[in-house]
Structure 1
Amino acid sequence: MLSKTDIAVLTALEADARLSFAQLGQAVGLSKSPCWKRVQALEQAGAIKGYRTLLDPAVLGLEVAAFVSVTVAFDRHAEFEQAVARHRAILACHATIGEADYLLKVTTASMADLDHLLRQELWRLPGVQRFTTTMTMRTVKDDGLLTSALPRP
């Protein structure tokens, strides 16, 4: 179970992973050394998986985002998941319960590129039986913080 201090450290880092240990410690009420040890412990425990830079897809020319619900043959799930993990345009893949087996988040530079992805690549992934695509018109929220969903001790 995470302590209040652990949650405070995670919340601060999730909002700004570029904080120095001195800044982080000041934000959560710890000195630099104990703060560094706390972060190390959270990394070793797997609570912190890594650090990334958030990029703006539109600035990078990735204008089209879509969600694709995919149904896969019963005996091909492992192969499908391996192929999805390697695919550059698939940003996220979630195994689901419901009409489809998976929900993919994809992004491309154009509608023509999305068409190519769907018609020439996605349907050729192992075990794909059918899929439906939902286009996004605009992103309302894409910066949710996991720490905001944590139960508070």
Structure 2
Amino acid sequence: MVHGLLWLPLLIFFFWITWAGWNEYQKVETYKQWANQFERSKYDILAALGQSERNLTWGLPTRQGIINTQTIDFNQVRSISLIAKGDATFAEAAQDLAKKSEAFLQLQLTDDEQPQIPFTDVDIAQKWCSFLTKTLAEGGDQLS
């Protein structure tokens, strides 16, 4: 009986880790279907991001699909900045993203809104920031 009680937490952990893996797998599969409509896309546990021509769309990945999506046209964007953990402005600018994200892209729109796109990997965030800044500067003539 003692051995059974000792193994019970391990069994519970095994079932939990199996469920968590299945849950994440389902999120990735729904992301793949969603990403087909974009020229360039990225999946992150915090956000899915897609770029198609002059539009940028992002939202929260779930098993049922990408929810809380937002779409903007590059004509609405004044500037794009990368704010990474460790920067002086990260804690105050991150709002509710500070606990989970390592970096985020902050878009300055023409209507003075500042939407944020979270990233768990700073290197990927830097690449997206460079790409989007270049696309914004070129006026979308040469999207790659």
TM-score under structure 1 normalisation? 0.27
TM-score normalised to structure 2 length: 0.28
Higher strand fraction (1 or 2): 2
RCO comparison, higher one (Cα < 8 Å, 6+): 1
